[in-house]
Amino acid sequence: MAYRWKNTLTAQDVTPQAAYLNRRHIMAGLAGAGLAGLGAGAASAQDAALEPNSWEDITQYNNFYEFGTGKGDPAREAHRLTTKPWTVKIDGMVDNPGDYDFADIMSQMTVEERIYRFRCVEAWSMVIPWNGFELADLLALAGVQSEAKYVAFETLVRPEEMIGQRFRALDWPYVEGLRLDEAMHPLTIMATGIYGKDIPNQNGAPMRLVVPWKYGFKSIKSIVRITLTDQEPPTSWNKANAREYGFYSNVNPNVSHPRWSQASERVVGGGLFARRQETLMFNGYEEEVASLYEGMNLAEFY
Ligand SMILES: Nc1nc2c(c(=O)[nH]1)N[C@H]1C(S)=C(S)[C@@H](COP(=O)(O)O)O[C@H]1N2
Ligand SMILES: [Mo]
């Protein structure tokens, strides 16, 4: 892997954003190096052109209903969340069920950088330079059993610190799920950092899922439980409104949300120069992930 580091960085180790943006021109030539066996070609050439959003865009414009439903609420309220210590329960169809300490997990994972497009179902988008490890590596620690077909995820419930949980904006805990092959895909990561710094609370500290070809709500934050199961798990937005939000929720410009088009997206940032761009099939990751859905009617399995 071209760029790897543990995210126990000290302040001096953190790359300032300007230096970072220069360095990524070097990295662009290496894009896709982390995606062994994926046929790095077209997608990485396209990714080389990705300009990440600013730290401010990424950490001040958020969806994290546990801290309120406004885009600015998480940045304002999430400082109350205690993330040390942090325990993740891994259970269900695994050989090694148990409570995994986050620091222990980190000591066994290879953290690398992934610059991904991020597309919310609300039709806005960003480009985010995540740091994280492949979910497949964590699942390997737990030892997935052969009957498992899905992975279910759960966010912390702690209304004392997560003040949005004092209201029933959603049915807490926030829950999400993936098919096992989606979870094992090398593009699927657990993000633990952004721009080389520990991931801020409002972005889902200490560890959140990132599935770049799916709408943002699949990328569940501040995970405390991972369960391997043979049943399709319930998901928060599907429970809230099954007509509007499906289990798969792959980014698809050809399938409108019942209340708006998904053909284009507002690019967050840029102030007065804010612009729209066309939404890409599978958010630009079609070459890597389309084979997962062969034989499925993508309009039906929204
Ligand atoms: N636990 C939890 N995870 C969540 C959400 C949430 O409200 N609670 N919002 C989702 C939605 S709708 C989006 S678009 C992304 C936003 O991630 P970001 O704030 O890091 O950009 O987080 C997703 N994960
Ligand atoms: Mo979203």
Domain boundary assignment for the chain: 55-300
Above 90 in pLDDT, residue 214?
yes
* 55-300 fold: Sulfite Oxidase; Chain A, domain 2 (3.90.420)
Q: Which ligand is nearest to the CA of 191?
A: 1
Phi, psi values for residue 11, rounded to 5°: -55, -40
pLDDT at res. 46: 54
Q: What is the pLDDT of residues 101-155, one digit of tens each?
A: 999 999 999 999 999 999 999 999 999 999 999 999 999 999 999 999 999 999 9
Q: What is the atom index within ligand 1 of the atom nearest the CA of 209?
A: 24
Of 66, 69, 221, the one to substitute when testing ligand 1's pocket (max ligand atoms within 8 A of C-beta) is 221
Above 50 in pLDDT, residue 59?
yes
Q: What is the pLDDT of residues 255-281, one digit of tens each?
A: 999 999 999 999 999 888 889 999 999
Average pLDDT over residues 172-196: 98
Q: What is the atom index within ligand 1 of the atom nearest the CA of 202?
A: 19
Above 50 in pLDDT, residue 39?
no
Above 70 in pLDDT, residue 47?
no
Give pTM, 2 decimals: 0.88
Tokens representing 300 are 């039906």
**DSSP calls for 243-293:** TT--SS-B--TTS-BTTB--SEEEES--GGG-EEEEPPGGGGTHHHHGGGG
Name all contacts of 97-100 with Cβ < 8 Å and 24+ positions apart.
97/142, 100/141, 100/142
How confident is the prediction for the chain on average, in pLDDT?
88
Tokens representing 174 are 């926030």
Q: In this prediction, what percent of the chain has a pLDDT beyond 70? A: 84
Between the alpha carbon of residue 175 and those of residues 90, 151, 169, 239, 299, the distances in Å are 14, 11, 14, 10, 23
Q: What is the atom index within ligand 1 of the atom nearest the CA of 128?
A: 21
Where are the extended beta strands (E) located within the chain? 87-92, 98-101, 112-119, 124-134, 150-155, 175-179, 189-194, 197-198, 208-210, 223-229, 264-267, 275-278
- C-alpha angle with apex 129: 127 to 131, nearest 5 degrees? 145
Of the pLDDT bands very low, low, confident and very high (cuts 50, 70, 90), residue 185 is very high
What is the whole-number distance in angstroms between the Cα of residue 121 and the centre of ligand 2? 5
More confident residue, 271 or 27: 271
Query: Which residues does ligand 1 sit against, CB inside 6 Å?
Result: 62-66, 120, 155, 174, 203, 216-217, 219-222
DSSP 3: S
pLDDT at res. 49: 76
Of 53, 54, 57, 64, the one to substitute when testing ligand 1's pocket (max ligand atoms within 8 A of C-beta) is 64
Q: Which ligand is nearest to the CA of 174?
A: 1
Q: Is the peptide bond before 74 cis (omega within 30 degrees of 0)?
A: no
Sign of the alpha-carbon torsion through 98, 197, 12, 50:
positive
Of 170, 219, 249, 251, the one to substitute when testing ligand 1's pocket (max ligand atoms within 8 A of C-beta) is 219
What is the whole-number distance in angstroms between the Cα of residue 15 and the centre of ligand 2? 28
What is the whole-number distance in angstroms between the Cα of residue 19 and the centre of ligand 2? 30
Tokens representing 138 are 């964590």
Nearest to 123 by CA among 296, 293, 259: 259
> Please, which residues bridge with residue 52 across strands?
none
What is the whole-number distance in angstroms between the Cα of residue 146 and the centre of ligand 1? 31
